[in-house]
């Protein structure tokens, strides 16, 4: 047995809360079907691709006194994509529901993500193993991976593995891409007369897998509280030392939900939102001017310090940078086989070769960038041949360009004070934290509910727990067809079905909360200090959910 920390010992004892409908087990449930559904966009194309699983109804579960026996079932589970706090509790909830329904049931975990089911690498879970991981962070119980389930060969190998283990259902715990693959696997199994069901669970700390039925993806609550604590600590330090500007890049490539939630928790001086930059077609120079003006205005009040929160994917949203990155994605594939580029003896020489090959409208942008950022743009590509945006130190780019801007302002007689900076990137710090009580409860419920969906013979569904701002007693368990969340998007030159990402809505209550307070927070120190995640104590401290979910719930209730 591993040596455990005192907190881990206490967390292992925590018993997650379930919706009242699930509390007496999946054998005492009745299934309530809603109306048939359609995809969010591109209905005809999605329907054609998912002939056997499209148009299914949203379902909910109610408790019933009529007990329905459960036949013996073997179930497989996959952790897919990046880690998110609470994944172990999804598996624990699935395991407990499965064993409660019938002690003869078995749960297999596929090792290393989707590749485990393809390659037939697995373990059988035992109560002893599950009990070591309850309410803990990470995905280390079976590991994760990013292999996509999308080819005929992969589907056939997955079927072979399931037949070998007599598996009748597979649960895929993942984000939008992973659950798109779950929908494709579910369709293939039905199309090929296999009775194997596929159920998904909504995971991503980015918060971009949500809609009217999926109120929040698991891990978002814990990750944003972890980042909120770190930002709050830095704000306290900045307010004490009064000599540094802290630029904090925070995880979230396509959507800025994490940065926005962390900002609402902590109220920093500057918060940039990628979706706003794109909507308003703001240039990099405009953002630099906006930030430099706030730095100058604070300096005029004797405040040579501050906090700026920056979403990870921001650089892709500037029109000029988007054009440059697209150009580089095409160009770098050619340069990989170019002897002049490969034989270049210095980075400066490589920069010159790249500048000479870029489109005219992108040359000036490339040459204006600091050498550090140029080098990062030319680093090894991701598996799809694209710039690895997460490795670009956007926070340092902004710092260098702000320094230049402040010098210009000073030369024109403006007071800019003293500018000293610190750069931070918060990413991995939040992905494997001990899940908050909310995520521990939510994830356990998602897993428990996933087996209820299996027990009723459903496939191609995402486990759904709603009404999340209420106490867990009042949560609503059910399922949503994955195809309902899909649209067609261009990926690698081809249009493919994918779950539509939920981006920050600029007309939504969450962004409006930031927008209303921006000017006040910029110049006046209204810092909030969330502190560490609390697991014990009053419910008002331990069981609160995110500001995002609270604001969205208020709007939903008002509109209803």
Dig out the tokens for 358 from the structure. 């870029």
Do the beta carbons of residue 386 and residue 326 sit within 8 Å? no
176 is catalytic: no
Question: DSSP state, 501?
Answer: P
- For the CA atoms of 369, 284, 376, 84, the dihedral, rounded to the nearest 10 degrees, stands at 160
Do the beta carbons of residue 220 and residue 267 sit within 8 Å? no
Beta bridge partners, 479, equal: 59, 463
Active-site residue, from 96, 176, 177, 206 = 206
> What are the DSSP calls for 252-314, one per residue?
-SS--HHHHHHHHHH--SEE--HHHHHHTT--HHHHHHHHHHHHHHHHHTT---EEEEEETTG
CA distance 19 to 329: 48
Do the beta carbons of residue 186 and residue 53 sit within 8 Å? yes
Planar angle of CA 196, 200, 205, nearest 5 degrees: 160
Task: Name the strand (E) or helix (H) holding 153.
Answer: helix 152-164
Which long-range CB contacts under 8 A does 6-13 form with residues at least 24 apart? 7/434, 7/535, 8/136, 8/434, 10/535, 10/536, 11/134, 11/135, 11/136, 11/434, 11/535, 12/131, 12/132, 12/134, 12/135, 12/136
Do the beta carbons of residue 84 and residue 136 sit within 8 Å? no
CA distance 5 to 10: 9
For the four alpha carbons of 305, 311, 313 and 315, in that order, the dihedral sign comes to negative
Do the beta carbons of residue 453 and residue 200 sit within 8 Å? no
In b/e form, how buried is each residue of 422-455, taking b as 16+ CB within 10 angstroms? bbbbbbebbbbbbbbbbbbbbbbbbbbbbbbbbb
Dig out the tokens for 72 from the structure. 């013996």
Beta bridge partners, 122, equal: 110
Do the beta carbons of residue 247 and residue 231 sit within 8 Å? no
Which long-range CB contacts under 8 A does 361-365 form with residues at least 24 apart? 361/323, 362/320, 362/323, 362/324, 362/327, 365/320, 365/321, 365/323, 365/324
Dig out the tokens for 490 from the structure. 């261009």
Could you tell me how far CA 531 lies from the centroid of its own chain?
Answer: 22
Q: Which residues are catalytic?
A: 206
């Amino acid at each position: 047995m591993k040596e455990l920390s005192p907190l881990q010992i206490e967390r292992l004892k925590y018993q997650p809360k379930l919706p009242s409908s699930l509390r007496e087990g999946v054998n005492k449930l009745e299934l309530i079907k809603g109306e048939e559904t359609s995809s969010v966009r591109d209905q005809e194309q999605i329907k054609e691709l998912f002939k056997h699983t499209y148009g299914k109804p949203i379902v909910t579960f109610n408790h019933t006194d009529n007990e329905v026996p459960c036949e013996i079932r073997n179930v497989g589970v996959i952790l897919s994509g990046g880690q998110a706090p609470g994944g172990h509790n999804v598996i624990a909830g699935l395991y407990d529901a499965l064993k409660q329904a019938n002690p003869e049931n078995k749960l297999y975990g596929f090792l290393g993500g989707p590749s485990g089911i393809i390659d037939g690498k697995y373990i059988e879970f035992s109560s002893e193993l599950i009990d070591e991981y309850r309410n803990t962070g990470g995905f280390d119980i079976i590991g994760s991976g990013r292999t996509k389930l999308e080819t005929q060969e992969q589907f056939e190998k997955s079927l072979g593995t399931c037949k070998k283990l007599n598996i009748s259902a597979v649960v895929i715990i993942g984000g939008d891409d992973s659950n798109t693959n779950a929908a494709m696997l579910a369709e293939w199994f039905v199309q090929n007369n296999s009775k194997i069901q596929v159920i998904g669970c909504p995971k991503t700390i980015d918060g971009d897998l949500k809609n009217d039925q999926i109120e929040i993806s698991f891990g978002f609550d814990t990750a944003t509280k972890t980042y909120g604590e770190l930002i709050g600590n830095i704000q306290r330090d900045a307010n004490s030392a009064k000599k540094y500007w802290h630029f904090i890049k925070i995880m979230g490539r396509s959507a800025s939900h994490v940065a926005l939630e962390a900002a609402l928790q902590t109220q920093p001086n500057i918060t940039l939102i990628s979706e706003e930059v794109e909507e308003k077609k703001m240039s990099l120079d405009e953002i630099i001017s906006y930030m430099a003006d706030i730095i100058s205005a604070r300096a005029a009040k004797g405040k040579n310090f501050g906090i700026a929160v920056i979403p990870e994917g921001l650089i892709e949203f500037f029109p000029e940078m988007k054009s440059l990155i697209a150009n580089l994605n095409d160009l770098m594939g050619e340069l990989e086989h170019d002897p002049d580029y490969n034989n270049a003896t210095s980075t400066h020489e490589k920069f010159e070769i790249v500048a000479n090959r870029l489109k005219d409208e992108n040359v000036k942008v490339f040459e204006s960038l600091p050498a550090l950022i140029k080098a990062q743009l030319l680093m090894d590509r991701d598996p799809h041949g694209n710039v690895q945006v997460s490795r670009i130190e956007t926070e340092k780019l902004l710092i260098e360009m702000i320094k230049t801007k402040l010098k210009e302002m000073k030369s024109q007689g403006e007071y800019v004070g003293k500018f000293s900076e610190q750069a931070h990137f918060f990413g991995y710090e939040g992905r494997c934290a001990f899940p908050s009580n909310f995520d521990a409860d939510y994830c356990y419920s998602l897993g428990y509910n996933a087996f209820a969906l299996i027990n009723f013979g459903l496939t191609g569904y995402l486990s759904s727990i709603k009404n999340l701002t209420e106490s867990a007693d009042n949560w609503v368990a059910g399922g949503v067809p994955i195809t309902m969340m899909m649209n067609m998007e261009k990926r690698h030159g081809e249009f493919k079905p994918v779950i539509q990402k939920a981006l920050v809505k600029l007309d939504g209550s969450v962004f409006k909360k930031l927008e209303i307070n921006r000017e006040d927070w910029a110049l006046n120190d209204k810092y909030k200090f969330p502190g560490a995640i609390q697991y014990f104590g009053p419910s008002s401290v331990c069981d609160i959910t995110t500001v995002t979910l609270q604001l969205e719930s208020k709007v939903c209730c008002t509109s209803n």
